[in-house]
């Protein structure tokens, strides 16, 4: 497979070269056309000049041409590529370049033909043009001018054209070289961030799939300070991906260590109790068995909670939505906690209004069970109030207690898995810090939000269901 840099470079170079060839061809054609027009005009003017100069050599007094001057003019023009023949008005030859200097004429003719056909690809032949020579309006002779037709370039013009062509060639080569360099730089500028992103994605994937090895690579972050929008976006997406994976990795590690920690306490207790019974320190009576049973139940509850949370967080939650009255659900749930609240001397007050809703009844019940059990658990005196706030479109429920409250530094984290605000207290209350995480997952599956506020006078948990 061809690399991106090479492909971009080749495309740019090909495109620029093609544009250059087309441009050069067009410029060349146009220049040549203009130049040829000028040359043809120049030849015609020169022919007229020759006629004028020859006519000036006529002497009316002697009714003859100055033969020495005619010869000088004729010889001069042979070198310019003009083969002259001058005759008088009766047609008798006065001077003929060919018969005068045959060898030189042939040399000039051959060199012009070779130059025009070889160098300029203009195939033609020597053509003769006749001009009458007049003096004071009277015909005094005839001039025949033989030149290479349709047109020809003089030595100076040939030299000029060759240098122009050479200049074109050098400029073209320099331009192609420059375009190759620019193409390479441009391709590298585009391909470099893509290659870096590819490399980073590969390292991140390898880090994610490896057990412990290159976990450090999840910390890879790419620079997103590119001027191209798409490249900056690509880097940002890779960074976002790495951040998400790193966060997932961190949470996974945290969960495993939290679970191990939660299991260690009851298991240690069970181990100690069983060893005490085996050693005969304890008798296997109802009291000791009951406390062992309680620890086992704690482990079972923990495993069930973790299972519920994992299902909620990792699998798509299939909500079994039915229509029911939210007030009725809250009333039934509160009823379940009446005895526990009464035991603690805590009052439960209900401020409910009929609120029909379409939601998953059992899962919402789980949410309010978790919230209410916390409210009663962490309240030693006072009351717990369950309120449905009036709202036509959404459902807003608040559960307010007059309990111990939550410290401001814990408040933002209480919805995290296995986060307990008060570690020492949890042993007696028995919570593993999963209840609120379960509640949050269920509410979010319903498209709602859950939040908490707390102060010295207690806590308020607000549930918003759209």
Q: How far is the CB of 441 from ligand ADP (least distance, A)?
A: 11
User: What b-and-e string marks burial along 132-141, b requiring 16 or more CB atoms within 10 Å of the CB?
Assistant: ebeeeeeebb
CA-derived radius of gyration, the chain: 53
Pick from 287, 306, 295, 293: which is nearest to 266 by CA? 295
Taking the least distance from each CB to ligand ADP, the nearer of 17 and 404 is 404
Nearest residue (CB) to ligand ADP, 5 versus 402: 402
Least distance from C-beta 460 to ligand ADP, angstroms?
A: 9
The alpha-helical segments, DSSP class H, found in 81-214 are: 97-100, 102-114, 155-209
Q: Which residues of 445-455 are buried (b: 16+ CB within 10 A; e: fewer)?
A: bbebebebebe
Smallest distance, Å, CB 448 to ligand ADP? 18
Which residues in this chain contact ligand ADP in the complex, by CB under 6 A?
Answer: 370, 374-375, 378, 401, 403-406, 414, 419-422, 426, 431-437, 459
Q: CB 317 → ligand ADP: shortest distance, Å?
A: 18
**Cβ nearer to ligand ADP, comparing 183 with 402:** 402
Q: 32-38 long-range CB contacts below 8 Å, 24 or more apart?
A: 35/161, 36/151
For the record, the structure tokens of 142 come out as 């005839």
3 state SS of 259: helix
Q: What angle do CA 429, 435, 440 make, to 5 degrees?
A: 150
Residue 86 and residue 78: Cα distance in Å, rounded?
A: 13
Residue of minimal Cβ distance to ligand ADP? 431
Quick one: CA torsion of 182, 183, 187, 190, rounded to 10 degrees?
60
CB 442 → ligand ADP: shortest distance, Å?
13
Which residue lies nearer to ligand ADP by CB, 298 or 395? Answer: 298
* CB closer to ligand ADP, 184 vs 299: 299
Greatest CA separation found in the chain? 166
State which residue, 290 or 456, has the beta carbon closest to ligand ADP: 456
> Closest separation between CB of residue 298 and ligand ADP, Å?
11
CB of 1 to ligand ADP, least distance (A): 52
Give the nearest distance from C-beta 414 to ligand ADP in angstroms: 4
Cβ closer to ligand ADP: 334 or 434? 434
Q: How far is the CB of 426 from ligand ADP (least distance, A)?
A: 5
Shorter beta-carbon distance to ligand ADP: residue 274 or 460: 460
- Residue 205's Cβ-side half-sphere holds a number of Cα atoms within 13 Å equal to 6
Nearer to ligand ADP, 71 or 422 (CB): 422
Going by DSSP bridges, is the β-strand pair 449-455/382-389 parallel, antiparallel, or unpaired? Answer: unpaired
Alpha-carbon torsion, ordered 9, 15, 18, 22, to 10 deg: -140
């Amino acid at each position: 497979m061809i690399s991106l840099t090479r492909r971009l470079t080749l495309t740019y170079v090909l495109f620029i070269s093609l544009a250059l060839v087309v441009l050069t061809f067009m410029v060349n054609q146009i220049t040549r056309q203009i130049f040829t027009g000028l040359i043809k005009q120049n030849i015609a003017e020169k022919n007229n000049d020759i006629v004028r100069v020859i006519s000036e050599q006529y002497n009316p007094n002697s009714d003859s041409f100055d033969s020495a001057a005619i010869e000088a003019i004729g010889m001069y023009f042979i070198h310019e590529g003009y083969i002259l023949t001058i005759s008088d008005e009766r047609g008798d030859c006065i001077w003929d370049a060919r018969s005068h200097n045959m060898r030189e004429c042939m040399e000039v003719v051959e060199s012009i033909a070779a130059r025009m056909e070889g160098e300029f690809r203009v195939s033609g032949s020597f053509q003769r043009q006749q001009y009458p020579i007049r003096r004071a309006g009277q015909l005094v002779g005839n001039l025949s001018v033989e030149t290479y037709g349709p047109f020809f370039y003089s030595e100076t013009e040939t030299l000029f054209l060759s240098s122009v062509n050479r200049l074109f060639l050098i400029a073209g080569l320099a331009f192609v070289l420059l375009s190759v360099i620019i193409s390479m730089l441009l391709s590298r500028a585009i391909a470099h961030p893509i290659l870096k992103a590819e490399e980073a994605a590969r390292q991140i994937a390898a880090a994610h799939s490896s057990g412990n090895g290159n976990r450090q690579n999840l910390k890879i972050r790419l620079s997103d300070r590119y001027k191209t929008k798409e490249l900056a976006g690509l880097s940002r997406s890779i960074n976002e991906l790495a951040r998400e994976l790193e966060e997932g990795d961190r949470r996974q590690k945290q969960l495993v260590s939290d679970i191990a920690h939660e299991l260690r306490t009851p298991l240690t207790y069970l181990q100690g109790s069983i060893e005490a019974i085996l050693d005969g320190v304890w008798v296997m009576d109802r009291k000791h068995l009951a406390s062992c049973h309680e620890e086992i139940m704690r482990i079972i509850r923990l495993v069930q909670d973790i299972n519920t949370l994992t299902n909620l967080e990792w699998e798509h939650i299939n909500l079994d939505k039915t229509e029911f009255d939210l007030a009725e659900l809250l009333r039934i749930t509160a009823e379940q906690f009446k005895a526990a609240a009464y035991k603690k001397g805590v009052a439960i007050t209900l401020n409910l209004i009929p609120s029909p809703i379409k939601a998953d009844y059992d899962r919402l019940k789980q949410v309010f069970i978790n919230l209410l059990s916390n409210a009663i658990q962490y309240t030693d005196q006072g009351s717990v109030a369950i309120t449905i706030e009036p709202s036509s479109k959404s459902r807003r429920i608040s559960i307010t207690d007059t309990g111990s409250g939550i410290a401001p530094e814990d408040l933002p984290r209480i919805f995290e898995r296995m986060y307990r605000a008060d570690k020492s207290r949890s042993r007696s209350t028995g919570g593993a810090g999963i209840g609120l995480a379960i509640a949050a997952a269920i509410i979010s599956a319903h498209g709602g939000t859950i939040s908490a506020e707390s102060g010295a006078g207690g806590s308020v948990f607000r549930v918003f269901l759209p």
